[in-house]
Amino acid sequence: MTGISVSFGGVTALSDVSLTVEPGQVHGLIGPNGAGKTTLFNVACGLVRPTQGRIVWRGEELRRLKPKQLTRLGISRTLQGVGLFRGLTVLENVMVGAHRHAKAGFFSALFAVPTADRDEARLRARALAALDELDATAYAGRYPDSLPYPVQKRVALARALVVEPELLLLDEPASGLSEDEMHDLGDLIRALSGRMSVLLVEHHMDLVMRVCDRITVLDSGEQIAAGTPAEVQADPAVTEAYLGDEVEVGAGADGREG
Ligand SMILES: Nc1ncnc2c1ncn2[C@@H]1O[C@H](COP(=O)(O)OP(=O)(O)O)[C@@H](O)[C@H]1O
Ligand SMILES: [Mg+2]
């Protein structure tokens, strides 16, 4: 993404931001609340159309990127919540993720599951493999509502992986996870980077610093720093942007959750 600007009405959410996710790298996108992270993520998903700027994928400019084109382009995403279909089992939810025409709607999702037996068997096998990678095979026949939130998040990730994307977009994948679960998620993201690129929007700094190859820092819609985790951590502009947040982190150490 090059020179991306987005304004909502009169509000400038992003101003001339550029970010490139290199093949096989984990690229972190961080910044204080309201920095524009989700807006940039949504630009990458085709959910928000930039006012200015270019999106280039595999050397080709995507002029009218739409969410439903993502899978065909080799891009998968998970959203900030979970977004599983309540009326489908875990296995069916993951199988739906493999369908290139799968849309965000229960009925279109249901009809998107191919009917040819051979396709269905192959799809089922791929979905089970994706669940296995997320240690979630045991939940294949369950309905999402009956499962703890962290398990639902793993299922949502399995659904994003079932198409074997070249680029995986993750918005706050660690939210609601325990320290141990977050650590496992970090290991998983590192392992995935062996076969795909990852754009990681996340506010858990230790996770970001541990798993990312490169990091872009936004503040008030502007790009204030970019580089390796060490470079970004040493950048005074980043420390300054996070000053308010650091005070909160300190308060949390006294026993209060942030
Ligand atoms: N749909 C929208 N309409 C109007 N303003 C928006 C919209 N989405 C985001 N914004 C504004 O854009 C700025 C960046 O928001 P966001 O991308 O959600 O930040 P972050 O994810 O970093 O917290 C904020 O000032 C926010 O209020
Ligand atoms: Mg956000």
Structural domain boundaries in the chain: 1-36+46-67+192-198+214-258, 75-164
C-alpha 26 chain-centroid distance: 11
**34: CA distance to ligand 1 center in Å?**
6
Q: What is the pLDDT of residue 69?
A: 87
Q: Kindly identify the ligand whose nearest atom is closest to the C-alpha of 32.
A: 1
In angstroms, the CA 234 to CA 248 distance is: 20
Q: What is the pLDDT of residue 80?
A: 65
216 lines ligand 1 (CB under 6 A): no
Mutate to test the pocket of ligand 1, among 33, 37, 39, 79 (most ligand atoms within 8 A of CB): 39
Q: Give the pLDDT confidence of 240-252 residue by residue, as tens digits.
A: 988 765 544 434 4
Q: Give the pLDDT confidence of 93-108 residue by residue, as tens digits.
A: 999 877 654 444 445 4
11 lines ligand 1 (CB under 6 A): yes
Q: What is the pLDDT of residue 31?
A: 93
pLDDT at residue 118 is higher than 60? yes
**48: CA distance to ligand 1 center in Å?**
11
Instruction: Average the pLDDT over each of 27-31, 76-80, 202-206, 217-221 and give the range with the smallest value.
Output: 76-80
Q: Which residues neighbour 125 within 8 Å (Cβ) at sequence distance 6 or greater?
A: none
Share of the chain above pLDDT 70, in %: 85
pTM of the model as a whole = 0.86
At the top level of CATH, the class of 75-164 is: alpha beta
**242: CA distance to ligand 1 center in Å?**
18
Which residue's alpha carbon is at the smallest distance from atom 27 of ligand 1? 34
Q: Give the pLDDT confidence of 200-228 residue by residue, as tens digits.
A: 999 898 999 999 999 999 999 999 999 99
Residues within 5 Å of ion ligand 2, judged at the Cβ atom: 37-38
Q: Give the pLDDT confidence of 132-181 residue by residue, as tens digits.
A: 999 999 999 999 999 999 899 999 999 999 988 999 999 999 988 999 99
Comparing 190 with 121, the larger pLDDT belongs to 190
Q: What is the pLDDT of residue 79?
A: 72
Mutate to test the pocket of ligand 1, among 5, 6, 7, 8 (most ligand atoms within 8 A of CB): 8
Bridge partners for 29 per DSSP: 201, 216
Average pLDDT over the chain reads: 86
